[in-house]
Structure 1
């Protein structure tokens, strides 16, 4: 497998994970365009979770426009986005602007091979313990994750319900320091890929190895489940954390939001 193949496979795994997540929710919507782009609506208040996503090298403007038309009645009262792996051209920028999505941001897409021996890597140290959460611990997950990202817990619980957390491809994690919640994170498993999302640490516990412990726990469990590659989209602030864990930026994705 070439490096380009690895990135393409991870991008497709991320798209599949988004599709599965929308498919689990009772009010979720997912539909593919003729070229494979995805319309996924979770009805979350997070725009990235109501999106049109293309993971091809060159996004098809006609396909994006078609999916925008299909999305319109479903996202009228929701924050939403257009996410592109490939570079957006002027035509797609115009389509996005016509739908009120005039803000363009870019986000690193990072990969890590799990085929190599990770035992030789530096592991997180300190009094941090990490455990998977049960599906009925959705309130705990929402409270900790919401506090870590400064978001109301109801935004988290509206998406990560007991039904979602009970899915075999979803695993939520809680980090604790001396028995006190310190951070939370999420893993999505799709065959041989594990995606990391929402790795957040409570303010009083930052820079103490909590994020690293969460990351390593997810990678360890993902590898045990058969994943050969881990992927994530990172904020600029979190880049050093993931780089220390071995992730490398492979691409920069474009996102249009309101």
Structure 2
């Protein structure tokens, strides 16, 4: 396996930004980009996922300008927003978020996988299939809404086929013998990276290897679209699974939320 480099973290940042940009535009939201700052605003005011910002250049724009822009832009529609701080790169942004009293929500390790994909098996009693229509998208959301504790407004956005089934995206869903969705994963390819997200398994189906299986399947879909590596942000539950799969930590995001907007 190749050695991890800072460049791969930068590519993971760009891929995550493309995910936020693409989902928001496809679901009828707004996107603003200014000198390395990306802001996205969905159709609901919640700061959870559907309204947020991230910098893709180090120290640009300065933190004060970032918050001035964000307050005006999100304030136009009365939305709160989340701030995705790249730990070690956005120290000024983190300090400003803390000084402003934004709520620290969570830390997410950024993990990268490189090299060819191994063969993998689907656990007995389950099937994994690509998602190609609206019914499949609903199955994905059904499989991940509870594990992720997705707010209803976020689930409603992700339930739209136009938000998640577009060029250079793909999703897979695992179903049990009765055809019920139990696990799912999604990918978007940009910058040669298959960004993996929405990996979830319903509680009664955990411990069978389904999380890893749907992740491999989503990665395979991404590689078939031209990716040569994969990246994701890991939950505490998923992190040990991804380590066993061969992912490695290359950075982390610290997420703050402006719950009320300014």
What is residue 5 of structure 2 aligned with on the other side? 3
Deviations 1:40-94 (A, max 9, x none): 112354623311101334453133223323333256344x211121444466533
Deviations 1:215-250 (A, max 9, x none): 110111111211011101111121011111211111
- CA contact 2:50–2:154 (8 Å) conserved in 1: no
Call closer, same or farther: CA 1:156–1:46 in 2, change over 3 Å: farther
Tell me the number of residue pairs that the alignment of Structure 1 and Structure 2 aligns: 251
- CA contact 2:138–2:159 (8 Å) conserved in 1: no
What is residue 101 of structure 1 aligned with on the other side? 102
Call closer, same or farther: CA 1:91–1:174 in 2, change over 3 Å: closer
What is residue 76 of structure 1 aligned with on the other side? 78
What is residue 142 of structure 1 aligned with on the other side? 141
Call closer, same or farther: CA 1:127–1:40 in 2, change over 3 Å: same
Call closer, same or farther: CA 1:16–1:230 in 2, change over 3 Å: same
CA distance in 2, matches of 1:24, 1:217: 24
- CA contact 1:7–1:250 (8 Å) conserved in 2: yes
Which is further off, 207-216 or 139-148? 139-148
Deviations 1:87-131 (A, max 9, x none): 444665335653x52325321000011xx3333x66554333211
Call closer, same or farther: CA 1:239–1:2 in 2, change over 3 Å: closer
Three-state SS of the structure 2 residue aligned to 1:197 is strand
Alignment of 1:167-246 (within 5 A): 167-178=166-177, 179-246=179-246
1 or 2 for the larger relative contact order (CA 8 Å, sep ≥6)? 2
- CA contact 1:142–1:156 (8 Å) conserved in 2: yes
Flag structure 1 segments of 5+ consecutive residues without an equivalent: none
Alignment of 1:58-137 (within 5 A): 58=59, 60-74=62-76, 76-78=78-80, 80-87=81-88, 88-89=90-91, 92-95=94-97, 97-98=99-100, 101-103=102-104, 105-113=106-114, 116-119=115-118, 123=121, 125-137=123-135
